[in-house]
Amino acid sequence: MSEQKNLDQLCAQFGYDIAQKVNEMFEKKATDTENLINKSLGVLQENGLYAFFLYLASQIKSDKEDKRSKAARALGNQAAKFLQHKWLELIKVDDGKDAYKKAMEEIRREGGLASRLNDLLLAKRLLEQALIYARYHAKALG
């Protein structure tokens, strides 16, 4: 018998992890954590998965690693880690400092996630749910 997979539980766990890691990068400023998560969630809902990663990339300043850059990188890397979780395997990227960049490449490449509509819609919906949980975790931090 195969293992039962509760995807909502996975979303909840990653939502918690996202809120914790982003808050850590903002040095425990829950309002900044909630703000970044809310804006990222809005981009995901309105413009899609690729735009979500692009938005986070636009928040990362490579010349100086300020708190917002670190937090955006942490959020993007957690999102990439979520999408490649063994229960989902929607993308395949190496963990690392710039996993979010690899996720963007994986989405747009020929045969990548953007070309698989059902997987793309699943990825968007699950990441959206994880970010909703992250938003509430961030509110609870305050």
Q: How confident is the model at residue 1 (pLDDT cuts 50, 70, 90)?
A: very low
Helix (H/G/I), strand (E/B), else coil: 28: coil
**Amino acid, single-letter form, for residue 61:** K
Give the start-to-end residue ranges of the domains of the chain: 8-141
Residue 1 and residue 16: Cα distance in Å, rounded? 30
Q: What is the third-level CATH fold of 8-141?
A: Peroxidase; domain 1 (1.10.520)
- pTM score of the predicted model: 0.93
3-state SS of 67-120 is HHHHHHHHHHHHHHHHHCCCCCCCCCCCCCCCHHHHHHHHHHCCCCHHHCHHHH
Residue 87 and residue 4: Cα distance in Å, rounded? 10
12-45: pLDDT as tens digits: 999 999 999 999 999 999 999 999 999 999 999 9
Q: What is the pLDDT of residue 112?
A: 96
Give percent of the chain above pLDDT 70.
96
Give percent of the chain above pLDDT 90.
87
